[in-house]
Structure 1
Amino acid sequence: MAVSARADARSGRIRALPLLVSAALAVAGCGSDGDPAAGAVRAAGDSSDTSADDAAQASAEWPVTVENCGTQLTFDAPPERVVTLNRPATEILLALGLRDRITAVAGAPDESADPSVTDDFHALDVLVEKDYPSAEALLNTEPDFLYSAYPSAFRDTGIGSRETFHELGIPTFLSHGRCENRDESQPLTIEEIWSEIEQMGEVFGVQDRAAEFVEGQREQLAQTLASLENLPPMSVFWWDMKTDTPFVGGCCGAPGMIIDAVGFENAFADLPGHWADASWEQVVERDPDLIVIADFGDGDLDTKLDFINSDPTLSQLRAVREGAIVPLPFHSTVPGIQTVTTVGVLADAARELADE
């Protein structure tokens, strides 16, 4: 599939899209059995709002083509009316100094937003406080680029398929680690996050900013790992959700990536996928050194702590008895600019435990 969205015709066409989107979504629902995002998409834009330095860089390197989940995306100029569909995507663009390129976001900021981008985050227009906007509301913003960290954005329960928006001349980007065609047994790595940040640098003509940001994160991670020298190996149980049957960090998603980055053992590395259902019997049998609890807010952490401390068996886990429990805001546990800091939080907890 090849799509051309020329700048001179774009504005009027996008205004008409809310009238057409229902039909487009219906057509997309009858698509082929292959990868719905496969093919080539071309987008055009106006780079008039770039700074002098960015404009000079852009003029030397446009058009830019990047590969994303099997789709070739070609940009004649940096996107100007971006809608980010979840926090990790928003924070990556803000970290690159691209607030003026973001027209709207899905998901409001809260206290767990990365401190380096909090002020810019609060200055953005929020389409919906949580979850995803309707396709009509989204298209009313006249976007020229959609960026999501999660594949759920491009499903029927989200805004619609990537193919639908590509057919409308609007390129979409999905974070590397969540490509629909990705092998679930392939572990996610921090290098992939950094590669994505560098790709955003290409798309927006701010390669130097992206390279500087990634280098800073590399140095931060190196300092964290150096602080862990001579620590004994530790096993980590990553508890994401649920009390009846624990939903845990499996082999190959963000929890596994963070645990592996610290050099520890994931207690459930034998379970496939990013997250998986386990049993409390398995947790007791594996008796981890550390327990990480993802906190989804609204009393979620208190509920989990009350459960594990009041249960006669779970309360006797070594990590519970020793207080080796690390609560983390959920948004810091997903791949993005907070990942390296989260590795540091886990490392700090491990050092404190070793010193006791």
Structure 2
Amino acid sequence: MPTYIRPAVFALATALALTGCGAEVSGPADAKNTARRADSHYPVTVENCGEKKTYDKAPQRVVTNDVGITEIMFALGLEDHMAGYVMPDDKGDLSAVPWKDAYQKTEWLSKDRINKELVLDAGADLVFAGWNYGFSEGEGFTPAELSRVGVDSYLLSESCRNGQGKARGVMSPLDALYTDLANLGKVFDVEDRAEALTESFRKQIAEAQAKAPKGKDRPRVFLYDDGKDKPLTSGAYAGPHDIITKAGGDHIMKDLEDSWTTVGWETVVDRDPEVIVINNYGDTTADQKRKFLMSYKPLANVSAIRNNRIVVLDYVDLVESPRNPAAVSSLAGELRNLGS
């Protein structure tokens, strides 16, 4: 049977407690001081996917697309600045996460694709999404199109295009997470929260790394998202790369200068992964993906298949999100156990 990994929500809750995500309650006597501080904070300028953007005030009606992006806002305690979120209902159990209250408080605008009409109907002043995380020329939904109707955009840093066609990735995946936390902390005037959250994440990952396999004990790891003719996997700039490597694995597709991309099965066979991590989401269940991998004849002699070393992580653990550090900890434990 496959090993199902569920990153510890208690570790996440601890990290959130360090941030003071529950904003301090200010009484009437503090109102003028708060307003004065806000006036002195703005305007602020941040760099997002190579573009400098200036904000004269904090956006008040943000629409987010997808679960990881939404939870970045929640982790920073910014649900009061949101008009709502868009995501399918295949992203796991949302009732057991540290942001349960934020999910209940914030409107789930659609379980379908995000689009301009939905954004306008929500009265959004900013859309937080990314290339292939909502934004797409093919769908006619782009930052440029939103700008034409007076709505600003912030791009998920994991999704930044690097100038090589539509390839994505300009920094390591965890650096992308830290960059977005820092930028949004500045944009929404919650820099202390962002810094505390990042510090707690770095500490959590360092603790996992200290116990992770090292040197010749590092197993070769392949990330399987989906696909039968060609597997969709992670290159060097998608979340699984850092999660695998920080957890003590050797990511076999680390030479792919892209984020989520397809490869040939022959490449997987040649690189002979010792562990396969399944991305759990969508209409095809993790168990169905596992059964396919175990029965696919070209993979029969791959070490991970021969030794039945398959583990599962949820989608939100693997895309850029505040669940990434807990995923590192959980996968590090799994890799240690597989090696024992």
TM-score past 0.5 threshold:
yes
Q: Please, which runs of 5 or more residues in structure 2 have no aligned partner?
A: 1-24
Equivalences for residues 334-349 of structure 1 within 5 A: 334-349=319-334
Alignment partner of 1:118 is 2:100: yes
Alpha-carbon distance in 2 for matches of 1:131, 1:312 = 36
Q: Which residue matches 1:205? A: 189
Alignment partner of 1:246 is 2:226: no
Q: Secondary structure at the match of 1:241?
A: coil
- Tell me which of the two structures has the higher relative contact order, counting C-alpha pairs closer than 8 angstroms and 6 or more residues apart: 2
The 3 A distance-change label for structure 1 pair 69 and 268 is: closer
| CA deviation string 1:97-145 (max 9, x = no partner) | 111111111115653548121331233212211321x312210211111
- Say which one has the larger Rg: 1
Equivalences for residues 91-130 of structure 1 within 5 A: 91-107=71-87, 110-113=91-94, 115-130=97-112
Alpha-carbon distance in 2 for matches of 1:343, 1:336 = 12
| CA deviation string 1:27-50 (max 9, x = no partner) | xxxxxxxxxxxxxxxxxxxxxxx9
Q: Which residue matches 2:52? A: 72
Equivalences for residues 1-356 of structure 1 within 5 A: 55=35, 57-107=37-87, 110-113=91-94, 115-132=97-114, 134-151=115-132, 153-158=134-139, 160-182=141-163, 184=167, 186-228=170-212, 232-355=217-340
C-alpha deviation, 1:69, in angstroms: 2.3
> If the length of structure 1 is used for normalisation, what is the TM-score?
0.77
Whether the 8 Å CA contact 1:108–1:126 is kept in 2: the answer is: no
Whether the 8 Å CA contact 2:213–2:247 is kept in 1: the answer is: no
> If the length of structure 2 is used for normalisation, what is the TM-score?
0.81
Alpha-carbon distance in 2 for matches of 1:157, 1:123 = 32
Alpha-carbon distance in 2 for matches of 1:230, 1:56 = 52
C-alpha deviation, 1:313, in angstroms: 4.8
Alpha-carbon distance in 1 for matches of 2:45, 2:228 = 46
Alpha-carbon distance in 2 for matches of 1:141, 1:175 = 21
Moved more, 293-302 or 177-186: 177-186
The 3 A distance-change label for structure 1 pair 270 and 98 is: closer
Alpha-carbon distance in 2 for matches of 1:204, 1:186 = 24
C-alpha deviation, 1:92, in angstroms: 0.7
What percentage of aligned pairs have identical amino acids? Answer: 29
C-alpha deviation, 1:284, in angstroms: 2.5
Paired AA for residue 239 in structure 1: Y
Whether the 8 Å CA contact 1:176–1:196 is kept in 2: the answer is: yes
Count of residue pairs brought into register by the alignment: 305
Alpha-carbon distance in 2 for matches of 1:60, 1:194 = 25
Whether the 8 Å CA contact 2:280–2:315 is kept in 1: the answer is: yes
Paired AA for residue 328 in structure 1: L
Q: Secondary structure at the match of 2:99?
A: helix
Whether the 8 Å CA contact 1:146–1:171 is kept in 2: the answer is: yes
Paired AA for residue 60 in structure 1: S
Q: Please, which runs of 5 or more residues in structure 1 have no aligned partner?
A: 1-49
Q: Secondary structure at the match of 2:134?
A: helix
Alpha-carbon distance in 2 for matches of 1:86, 1:73 = 23
Alpha-carbon distance in 2 for matches of 1:241, 1:54 = 49
Alpha-carbon distance in 1 for matches of 2:306, 2:148 = 57
Q: Secondary structure at the match of 1:80?
A: coil
Whether the 8 Å CA contact 2:214–2:248 is kept in 1: the answer is: no
Q: Secondary structure at the match of 2:146?
A: helix
Alpha-carbon distance in 2 for matches of 1:64, 1:225 = 35
Alpha-carbon distance in 2 for matches of 1:152, 1:59 = 33
Whether the 8 Å CA contact 2:248–2:335 is kept in 1: the answer is: no
Q: CA RMSD in A?
A: 2.5
Whether the 8 Å CA contact 1:197–1:214 is kept in 2: the answer is: yes
Alpha-carbon distance in 2 for matches of 1:210, 1:352 = 33
